[in-house]
A and B are shown apart, each in its own frame.
Chain A
Amino acid sequence: MSELDLTLVDSAVERIGTSREKVLELLQAIQGKFGYLPTEALERLCELTEITPASIAGVSTFYNQFRHRPAGKYTINVCIGTACHVKGAEQVYDAFLRHLEIPQGQDTDSQRLFTVDRIACLGCCTLAPAVQIGRVTYGHVTGDSVARIIDDFLNQEKARAARPVRKRTLLGDEAAGRGEIRIGLGSCCVARGSGKLKEALDAALSTTGIEVPVKRVGCVGMCYQTPLLEVVLPGRESFLYAQVEPGDAKAIVLRHFKPPRLTKRISNVVSTALDNIVANKGTETVTRHSINVREGHVADFLGKQAHIATEHCGVIDPVDLDEYLGKGGFEALRKCVSELDAEQIISEIETSGLRGRGGAGFPTHLKWSAVRSQESPDKYIVCNGDEGDPGAFMDRMLMESYPFRILEGMAIAARAVGAETGYLYIRAEYPLAVERVNKAIEICNERNLLGEHIFGSDFSLSLKIVPGAGAFVCGEETALMASIEGRRGMPRLRPPYPAESGLWDKPTLINNVETYAVVPWIIRNGAAQFANLGTGNSKGTKVFALAGKVACGGLIEVPMGISIREIVQDIGGGVGGGLRFKAVQVGGPSGGCVPAELADTPVDYETLKDVGAMMGSGGLVVLDETDCMVDIARYFLEFTQNQSCGRCTFCRVGTRRMLDILERLCAGEGKKTDIDELEHLARIIKASSLCGLGKTAPNPVLSTIKYFRSEYEAHIEKRCPTGKCRALITYSVTDDCIGCTLCAQHCPVNAIEFRPYEKHQIDTEKCIRCGTCRNICPADSVKVE
């Protein structure tokens, strides 16, 4: 083994510090240097800091992010979030292992180039199945496309190494009055190529000599249309282009802007003409993508929405403070600092009826008053950005797109409860969110919107990001605080609640990202206006991540009380592909499945609970008739079981036993008593687990048993009615086969013999039921039973 350069540890310690709570940050730094956590480095860390071996061993094995074995040069993270799962993530994962010839039980190829890992959720649900390699995200991956993806990635890496980094900053005022081009640069957009598009735009502008600012904006929400590009011309309606490719950039520019000099103009005409000839496409290829906001599905998509947390979506540059200020940003904070006292702020929040957006829906003002009433010189404020629910990406979008709004909301809350120090705990899987929030904090500190004596008042607030390290359970507030303190993220018994005894035993206010994000709006527009939206006990709006089997997935913000049908049919455009809408999974691993029959259920905290689901943090995964509900239940139990902290018996062992039963059912080894046994375990686990994760873990099982009992019974009889459970199905070729050989060419395990012009056959012994043949067959002649 090669000698490790342990001075890297020394320098990390020097930079980060030696105290106990730095352990996560230090481990992240060490892993950043070595690619894993070598024991020698950890021992060195013990020597240099006050962190004990027990703490390092405990912490470094608790969080998914940390590796104890060397990894390949690049890590392929296959997302197994809900939306990806229902679209075949497991097959994608298997395909990567097969393609890279990684033996069973291992995760890295023999050349140590790639490590293949499953990741809980990348939060790119509209791109499902999604895969992240390095910092590149690939969407709509199939087992068949993994080879191309790996090639593409390696080519990109080669090109990146060869290309000098060139950046051109365009300031907002640079070309004032000329209009601007807006391009979505949320993670989803980037994954769908908006980064390349931006490069192409920059290139187009520099060759044409046109000077118009290209502005990156946060998530527009219409993820199904990305990359989106909007051309805004002063005094005229704007033009929105969807699914734009880099090759379209120049044509779009020339359509709306005139080059400055005649010669340029002429050469542009010529070159565009040439382009068109070479590429054999006319200008309609561009207009093909052009969509009008007032028409069709876009109007539907946006029409029912109400933007509060996502105010100015697709309009503002996430980290342009002046723009945020120009649109009323920080007015609310100014008002709270100079006009309102703490009681008045809290009373305003009370009037608004705001409830926690993290899932449980606890009235926000009660939390705030509880912290405010504590007599302690030190109080903390925490923003829970550890959005770990598979199938949810609201908080990521909010943090990537509106970091100032979240900071402003936190500042108002801090003012109200009397806290002067705060943390934003953000999932490590969200690097862009960390980057943008960090940048926003930096800017606010410079501009005295954070830091000492904000607006010249006696109010000071210092905010800091703590990146998580991959543990869903850290979304539970007591676990999150343990994690900030540098411990294993284990929930503890409540009471005492964080309001009494939180971070370092001090009173602590902890709210979710979205909760903070709506606070400035409430203060600015008045609580009454917020309370006007929504239902009796659920006021305002809720941001949802709409994904799964829906035509128009994306990030949406809707008034509370809207029905599931409106969300799925009107906003989401219904289930695509002529399939029947079956159910919608609401609230992730704590939530449940609401069947199509109950689609008129209004979305609010109480009603969702009544039908066996839960608001959760707001993931909505639409399922169609091809989705197996037993598999969905198994999927969620597997998730919770993987993410259980392991503290209490009911969650650690109880959910494991539930999963055992579900695995048996999906493998065709179910017993008659299994449904009863699942219900029995579920009841006990719900009643007696220590924390919310355990108490809600059985929900996906209970709700699917409640609404889809016959599917469970079918599995006991060794049938999977939807043909999802691999152990219960066989693939065969029908007489419709035209002998085209495509299936034989694409079968990853050579289970189909190559027989041109003859009917093909599938060797069921070899078949791995990956579905490649079925997807590729032009004659629809592959049957699953």
Chain B
Amino acid sequence: MGDKTGILITYREALKQALREALLSDDRVFLVGEDVGRYGGAFAVSKGLLQEFGPERIMDAPLSESGFTGAGIGAALAGMRPIVEVMTVNFSLLAMDQIVNNAATLLHMSGGQLNVPVVIRMGCGIGRQLAAQHSHSWEPLYAHIPGLIVLSVGTHEDARGMLLSALKSPDPVVIFEYTYMLNLEKEIPADAGAVDITRAKVRREGRNISIITYGAGVYKALDAAAELAAAGIEAEVLDLRVLRPLDEASVVASVAKTHRALVVEEAWRSGGFAAEISARIMEKAFYELDAPVQRLCGVEAPIPYPKHLEDASVPQIADIVNAVKKMIRP
């Protein structure tokens, strides 16, 4: 077996190591996006890769989100394995036509003839005071689209491994990365690599309640669970990881075990992904419930600039702790 010794690594470094491994292991892989090369990546994720792999494989693109995403889709159709980097999810709306009308649609619309093995990575979430056009969490917009595989990188292990598995997919994969975590250090096994991208994952076992979350909510939920444990409440943390196709069985299994569910996400409440999870629980595990499903979601306003308002825009650890306590000891 491989090396299980833990190494301390930042989320950024984990993402970069995954990129590097992907580029080393498959000549068809190339990275294209704004400032991925000479600048080193808007968030320094691809820093140094241009020097190592050259401009054919680390391609700086002009500010043409739709154009270079479409080019990535075309290259994928023609035998390459492109990784398209979109700086933030907000900018991805400029490429959404390509992602939805082409990448997600071509296989079905062509009667199974054209699959699109493109990987589209985008940064998202709050934490850097970047205000309303750089900070959103729009995973639910993409999770709505059949034909896409939608991954949310909530842990360092997934930062190191999800990209590698995504590149093996014959179908388009959208990967959400969280900018607030870039400098965060965590331990992962020294031999960490490709991870499963079909299943949700229990990040902490518990028997009193399921905190179901993804992305930026995962570490917050784990911190909240630790605090709750001190208060005698054993919370299970389920990291959804794969928003589409959703691993419904893991959600149902967790709820069947704990009989309570709190869904946490940073995206807006109305029409959000927590709403979907809540509905699935009603449909598939209603009689397992000892209490109504609750949601903690982003406040329904554009994300503002000042730190105190930014922080107030999304669920925080204290909000999760309080919500759980209310559900268990009303």
Question: Do these two chains interact?
Answer: no
